[in-house]
Structure formats: C-alpha cells, structure tokens
Amino acid sequence: MHSKQPQPAADARIGFFDRLAEEWDTSEQDPAETVREVERCAERLDLHPGDCVLEVGCGTGQLTEWLVDRVRPGRVTALDFSPEMLRKAAAKGIDAAFLPADVCRDDLGRAEFDVALCFHSFPHFRDQPAALRNLARCLKPRGRLIVMHLHGRDEVNEFHRGMGGEIGGDLLPDDARWRDWLKAAGFDPPEISDGKDGFLLQARIMAVD
Ligand SMILES: C[S@@+](CC[C@H](N)C(=O)[O-])C[C@H]1O[C@@H](n2cnc3c(N)ncnc32)[C@H](O)[C@@H]1O
C-alpha cells in the first residue's frame, strides 16, 4: 500500500507577493531607474549573446526585457511562484518564456542554463539550501549563479526585518553560510562583493575531472 506523500505547507509568501503584484511597478523605485542601475554594473554580470538565462523570482519582469536584449539570440526563462506577479510579467509582451515554478521544489530541468540570476529575490526563498541544490541541477557544467541586489546585505536584511510579517525573516546569508551551502550544492567558492554599491555573488558549478 502506498502512503500519500505529505504536501509541503503552502508558502505564505505567495499570497504576500500576489497582493503586491498590481502596484509593484508603481509603488517603489521607477523600474526604468532599476534597469539603469543594473546597466551601470552590466560588465560585472558578464552576460553574453547566446547565453541561456534563468531569471529566478522575476516578479513583474522589470529586468526581463533587459536580459533578453543582453543575451539574444540566447533565451531567457523567467520564473516566479506568484501567479499574479507572473501574469503581470507575461502581459508585457517580452520575448521570454514565463514559468510558474517554486525554485525550492520544482524540477527546473537538467543542465539547461548558462546562468541563473536571482535579482532581489534570494532572501525570499523559504529553503535556501534546497533552492541552491535545485539551481545547481539546472545549470550547465561550469554554469554560473548570480545573486544580485542594488543595496548592500545589511541594508537588505534590515529592510526585510523592518517589514516583518511573511518576509520579516527573509535574509541574505552571511559569507560562511553561503560558502557552506554553495559547496554542498556543488558550486565552487563564490566571489562576493558587498557594500554601498550593492550585493553581488557569483559562483560556478564545480569542475568535474
Ligand atoms: C522582491 S520580489 C523581486 C521581483 C523582481 N526580481 C524585481 O526585482 O522586481 C521577489 C520575487 O521572488 C518570488 N519568489 C519568492 N520565493 C520564490 C520561490 N520559492 N520560487 C519562485 N519565486 C519566488 C516572489 O514571488 C517575488 O516575485
């Protein structure tokens, strides 16, 4: 007799982000300014035409079109687990694939992507080690994880603590934890820069001899 697998408890963040979706592009910083700020550090992201990119936690797709332009003829797959965020993103007519998925749980394929980019999203993943393992599986050999914030780690974490509620505990890990979790997931040691210019982490899938 088969016992039924317990379903993971629903993530309360889905409802939280669903509720924010309608106002997301108008309530905070102008999305065009966000794109300009990313553009200013584009060299450090090292994206190239032909790259296949997974944008993880794309929200309403504020960055998605910029990514598409950057990597064309490569493809961008933009995923989010908030149906309302994803609906807003998909309605923008951007030449990307939009995927309803939970990065902590859902199968994202095997060795499909050159780059997985988490822009302003990683703190919200409820099981961060599981998300890293999942992203490692869907990256190609020597594929790259990028975690990016336009503000430094302390500022991001303070902001979330101040918000409280569903996202009050959503934090960027400290360096030691990043190193442990990334190693366990099969990544090389990360390069991390953190400060007034924002937070940027990059790590490649470990080479196999
Ligand atoms: C702070 S928003 C950032 C959205 C977008 N990157 C931006 O900068 O406008 C974080 C996004 O991550 C998504 N998210 C959080 N946890 C997720 C998960 N486990 N799987 C997929 N998406 C998730 C949320 O639904 C939300 O859209």
Q: How far apart are CA 204 and CA 191, in angstroms?
A: 10
Average pLDDT over residues 104-118: 97
Model pLDDT, residue 8? 56
Model pLDDT, residue 29? 87
**Residue whose CA lies nearest to ligand 1 atom number 4:** 59
Bridge partner residues of 80 (DSSP)? 100
**Residue whose CA lies nearest to ligand 1 atom number 10:** 121
Element (H, E) at 64: helix 64-71
Q: What CA–CA distances, in Å, run from 171 to 36, 89, 152, 157, 161?
A: 25, 25, 12, 5, 8
61 Cβ closer than 6 Å to some ligand 1 atom: no
Q: How far apart are CA 77 and CA 85, in angstroms?
A: 15
Model pLDDT, residue 208? 83
Using the predicted structure, report yes or no on whether residue 170 has a pLDDT greater than 60: yes
Mutation choice for ligand 1 from 17, 19, 25, 66, CB with most ligand atoms inside 8 A: 17
Using the predicted structure, report yes or no on whether residue 100 has a pLDDT greater than 90: yes
> 4 in the Ramachandran plot: left (φ > 0), alpha (ψ -120 to 50) or beta?
beta
**Residue whose CA lies nearest to ligand 1 atom number 6:** 58
Superfamily of domain 44-204: Vaccinia Virus protein VP39 (3.40.50.150)
Q: How far apart are CA 60 and CA 119, in angstroms?
A: 12
66 Cβ closer than 6 Å to some ligand 1 atom: no
> 57 in the Ramachandran plot: left (φ > 0), alpha (ψ -120 to 50) or beta?
left
Average pLDDT over residues 90-106: 98
The whole-model pTM stands at 0.95
Atom of ligand 1 nearest to the CA of 55: 6
Model pLDDT, residue 2? 42
Using the predicted structure, report yes or no on whether residue 116 has a pLDDT greater than 60: yes
